[in-house]
Amino acid sequence: MKDLTAQLDIRRAGTRGITQIDWLQSHHAFSFGHYQNAKRNNFRALRVLNEDIVSPDQGFGEHPHANMEIISWVLQGQLEHADSTHQHHIIAPGDLQIMTAGQGIRHSEFNPSKTDPAHFLQIWVTPNKLNLTPAYQQKHFSQESRQDHWLPLITTTPSSDTLTINQDLNLYITDLTPGHSIPLINQPSRHTYLHINTGSITLTPSPPHPSSSSSTSVAAPNFITLSAGDALALSTPTQFTLTSTAPNTQLLHFDLD
């Protein structure tokens, strides 16, 4: 029996593309800008997942987008958004921002702090319809509501507790206490992309992987460790147990068509 790591599509943080300029460090999970990797162009409708650190008082000046659902989630610091539909907001940790670029929009994203970096995720999802009317959504999800269970942020079924995008995608988040475990389930006919925002976890198959009960003297380990910036892509029905092994562990689970 092959070991667990060899059977899973694990994308280590260090294999991401990098853009490093004077005011920006950006790690690209998928092809972006000068980083082009034919094996990492997208995962289903998930097209971009950049982990960015923007220096104080710097940012992305006004530029256009079209036909993309653009999601921003701040890990540390703040991000100031302005766009051509007259939306102007500052988002901070716990705020989820979604911009439907649709038929075309111009926006800027700046770090408004004079002293602190902004650390955030910029996520692009291909929409299921072209040339939609541009739209902006923002919602706060408290730290307590995210603690030690999967909290839905984006749901395919509209709800007053969540946001919705123009794609068959559910997005869940958790902040895990060290030692706490939660399940990760990829349902039949669905696809999962698990991204480790911060901290680290062990991932154990449920039920346990057959190699762990092997009678050979050198059994392969029945868990793997995933750390900040690592990701796991799943396309078969599977269930795992995720256990936090570090303080400030935060995970995102994309459930995709």
Ligand X SMILES: O=C(Oc1cc(O)cc(O)c1C(=O)O)c1ccc(O)c(O)c1
What does the binding site for ligand X look like in residue numbers (CB under 6 A)? 26, 50, 52, 60, 63, 109, 122
Query: Looking up tokens 């999800």, which residue turns up?
Result: 141
> Within 13 Å of residue 41, how many CA atoms lie on the same side as its CB?
3
Amino acid, single-letter form, for residue 5? T
Question: Least Å distance between CB 203 and ligand X?
Answer: 27
Compare residues 91 and 173 and give the one whose CB is closer to ligand X: 91
Within 8 A by CB and 6+ apart from 102, the residues are 66, 67, 127, 131, 132, 133, 134, 135
Question: Least Å distance between CB 14 and ligand X?
Answer: 18
Compare residues 66 and 130 and give the one whose CB is closer to ligand X: 66
Burial 177-203 (b: 16+ CB within 10 A, else e): eeebebebebeeebbbbbbbbbbbbbb
Question: Least Å distance between CB 243 and ligand X?
Answer: 30
Length of the chain: 257
Beta bridge pairs of residue 195:
231, 252
Compare residues 126 and 225 and give the one whose CB is closer to ligand X: 126
Q: Are the C-beta atoms of 75 and 107 separated by less than 8 Å? A: no
Q: Are the C-beta atoms of 42 and 49 separated by less than 8 Å? A: no
3-state secondary structure of 13: helix
Question: Least Å distance between CB 109 and ligand X?
Answer: 4
Compare residues 113 and 156 and give the one whose CB is closer to ligand X: 113
Beta bridge pairs of residue 128:
none
Compare residues 35 and 60 and give the one whose CB is closer to ligand X: 60
| Cis peptide bond upstream of 178, omega within 30 | no
Question: Least Å distance between CB 159 and ligand X?
Answer: 27
Compare residues 63 and 88 and give the one whose CB is closer to ligand X: 63
Compare residues 9 and 116 and give the one whose CB is closer to ligand X: 116
Question: Least Å distance between CB 24 and ligand X?
Answer: 8
Question: Least Å distance between CB 60 and ligand X?
Answer: 4
